[in-house]
């Protein structure tokens, strides 16, 4: 069962509409280089979570929290209403019928494959966007989702939307902030749960709160200090909603890696989420 309970994106805005709001601070990589002494405070040079092997690790880490499984590719067909007020949650990243990203996924899929099993549900998805309603969807829609998920075309569509709305913006911002693979993953996991945007409870809001407490490596700060500030800011937001109050994906996963100095996310990795133990060798 997916445990992701991402807050509803701004009103009925689609994921693409809010994705543009993720990065509100100019890319710090274009700023004047910090003095050598300040640069030395950074633990590691910028990582690259988009490298295939590291990205695979990131997908498994997120899946352990989202679906209690490392087999993230088995989640293309996943769909259910987890009772969080966001309607259906489905697919590899937990696209939601109430937050816009599911609608935009199906629109993109239909643009590339017009005669697909989900195309006829587009009017209903537009009507329920921003609500938890199942009107016009229901069990027939669930069956159509699973049917589509068996195809390479819909799997590719899910991958593309995941990257466009969540993974690529998180990694890009992480690189601009001078973060390692661990730091970039922390951004990615946060944007998956909290959504893109600039408000207090979004990824952008969490990042802004952290930057008030510590400098990013690109600003000459220490990555350990900055990530601890980011984790603290994120946990404040998580604890504001009962459904998010289990902060183990930070405490017994990301913070464990940070305390071990594993900024590269090198294997083996061992962690716990919601009390369950996982290992990547």
Q: Whose structure tokens read 């633990």?
A: 43
Report how far residue 238's alpha carbon sits from residue 16's, in angstroms, rounded to the nearest whole number. 24
Among the listed residues 48, 56, 84, 251, the single catalytic one is 84
Tokens of 64: 């352990």
Backbone dihedral angles phi then psi of residue 51, each to the nearest 5 degrees:
-60, 135
CB 185 within 8 A of CB 128: no
Among the listed residues 48, 56, 66, 246, the single catalytic one is 66
- How far is CA 214 from its chain centroid? 22
Does a cis peptide bond (omega within 30 degrees of 0) precede residue 116?
no
Beta carbons within 8 Å of 194's beta carbon, 6+ residues apart = 6, 7, 201, 202, 203, 206, 234, 237
CB 97 within 8 A of CB 103: yes
Report how far residue 40's alpha carbon sits from residue 213's, in angstroms, rounded to the nearest whole number. 19
Say whether 84 is catalytic. yes
- Please identify every residue annotated as catalytic: 66, 84
């Amino acid at each position: 069962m997916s445990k992701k309970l991402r807050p509803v994106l701004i009103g009925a805005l689609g994921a693409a509409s809010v994705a543009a709001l993720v990065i509100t601070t100019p890319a710090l990589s274009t700023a004047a280089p910090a003095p050598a002494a300040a640069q030395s405070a950074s633990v590691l040079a910028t990582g690259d979570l988009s490298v295939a092997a590291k990205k695979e690790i990131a997908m498994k880490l997120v899946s352990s929290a989202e679906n209690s499984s490392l087999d993230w590719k088995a989640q293309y067909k996943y769909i259910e209403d987890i009772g969080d007020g966001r309607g259906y949650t489905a697919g590899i990243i937990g696209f939601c019928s109430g937050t816009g990203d599911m609608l935009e996924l199906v629109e993109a899929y239909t643009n590339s494959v017009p005669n697909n099993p989900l195309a006829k549900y587009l009017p209903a998805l537009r009507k329920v966007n921003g609500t938890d309603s199942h009107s016009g969807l229901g069990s027939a829609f669930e069956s159509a989702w699973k049917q589509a998920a068996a195809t390479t075309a819909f799997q590719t569509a899910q991958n593309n939307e995941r990257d466009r709305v969540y993974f690529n913006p998180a990694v890009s911002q992480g690189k601009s902030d001078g973060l390692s693979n661990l730091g970039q993953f922390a951004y990615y996991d946060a944007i998956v749960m909290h959504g893109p945007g600039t408000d207090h409870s979004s990824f952008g809001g969490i990042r802004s709160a952290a930057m008030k407490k510590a400098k990013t490596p690109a600003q000459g700060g220490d990555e350990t200090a900055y990530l601890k500030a980011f984790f603290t800011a994120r946990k404040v937001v998580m604890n504001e909603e009962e459904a998010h109050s289990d902060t183990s994906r930070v405490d017994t996963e990301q913070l464990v890696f940070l305390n071990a100095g594993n900024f590269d996310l090198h294997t083996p990795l061992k962690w716990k989420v919601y009390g369950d133990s996982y290992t990547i060798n």
